[in-house]
Structure 1
Amino acid sequence: MNLRLALAAVLTVVTFPALAAGTDPVVATVNGKEIHRSQLAELQQSAPQLRQVPLEMVYEQLLDHVISGQLLLEQAKKQNLENDPEVKAQFKDAQAQIQQMVKDAQIQILQQVYLKRRIDADISEDQIKAKYEDMKKNMPPQEEVKARHILLETEDAAKLVIADLKSGISFEDEAKAKSTDAASKANGGDLGYFGKQENVPEFTEAAFKLKAGEFSQTPVKTQFGWHVIKVEDRRPATPPTYEQVKQSIKMQLGQQDAQKIIDGLKKTAKIERFKADGSPASDKIKN
């Protein structure tokens, strides 16, 4: 069993410090042994793929896993497996791996904290603002369109909608009556303003070919179905505000600064490189 999974299994049967009944309720009992909600939350956090999922969505699966683990633990203890030579050997190996994991984590934390403090000291608010202004100057002109759409399941259904629009039925009413897009149907198919990078290519290409007031004369096929599109307005895109991009700019500057810091440390350090087998390198490699 993978060590991390094994640790997760162990955590599910460990008794955690008692919390107030309202915050850590008993969610099951197994032969009199209480299982608390906190044990399920701990197990969920040990599985990266479940961390962003609401606990309620995986509650039954997690609870069943914890109950199964408790039953297995009871049987193992009944057989006194804690004193079994095989178990002791695996415990010893696991302890060694855990100690190494802790050491590795300590090293990473030290490296990250040092680098973060150096970067924070190097990068000022003025530098971030200057980078933002430079980004705006070099940003190519962008355009946005304000559009509505009607999503249909078939091409023939989309053609009938286009015929209705040509006969004078309002686009908004047609969208409310026939669109299968639940997100925009109630608003008459309104999608608001969007740029060229914000929709699938086929939809974007068709929308940006239309002038304000025009609707597509042929159905537009995308992975979602068949669309009829109407463009209501076109305008120059507004550049993102400083606050919207501040963190991404800071991250970009930080990555550049981190490399400079590391390069500087290499220049002042005495570093000797060897081949993968430990033998001397035939050619000297500069730091």
Structure 2
Amino acid sequence: MTRKFHTSLLLACSAALALAACGERASNSSALPGDLPAFETVNGQAVPQMLLDLLAKERNLDLAQPEQRARAVLELTDYILLEQAAKAGDYAKDPNFSAEVEINRLRGIANATMGKFRDSAQVDDSVLMTEYQQQIAKAGTSEYDFSQLLFDKEDDAIKAAGEALSKPFNEVYDAWSKRAKQARAFQRVRPGQLPEALGKALQALKSGQTSVVPVKTEFGWHVIHVGAISPFVPPKFEDLKESIRETLLTQLSQQRLQKLRSEASVSTPESAVKAADAAKPSNSQSDSAGKPVDQPAN
């Protein structure tokens, strides 16, 4: 059955460019086998059902629902039409166009390969349990509500901490909040979620206490005040089992990638090195300049 669609300008044109595959192949530029079941043809080109299934999965669309199926079909059909337009216009002669297609092709292969690495990795329940137990041990037995003043300069942190020895912390907090790098209250934080030095300092304090000496981390100098301390009841193993599995599978796939990096023979032409050196700014700037302080990490 032939269908007509009103195609819109897609913001995700890179996906269509990837399908174009440089426009040098036969009428069906896909790398898929030619005998796969097709769900439609577009200007005589068969479109495999497998592509529609994958697109629906990526978009979280249910093909059994007519409206959602129509959305998936429209998007995939637009990709095919744009691929055909690219061929008709011989756009592959433009090096910039071909480079954009190629980078999307490489990105797609890289993502799919990392997925295969994950799928081929084996993580049994005993490994998951060991990781769970390690995470619970690291989490500790308490959660803390605390406030902090974070400073770039140690002198300011020392002054604020000194004032907190003779004044209520909320007064010191209000007085310094606009001059601090960050003034923020946190709730139900476990020490293991914080930089190590800050976590240890938090555990050494009781409810209502303020750190006498500022704590140094990579973020700056912290003056912290502990509010409530609550018992931490960890989630059950079964509740965390699949998320732990996902984390370990990601780690294993990253390890395979790292192995490929370590074993690869990579050389850089001298001309490319010179070009990179020439592109460097004359005055080095700190990587940390302007970065927001967003911690503790969850």
TM-score (norm 2): 0.38
TM-score w.r.t. the length of structure 1 is: 0.40
Bigger RCO of structures 1 and 2 (CA < 8 A, at least 6 apart):
2
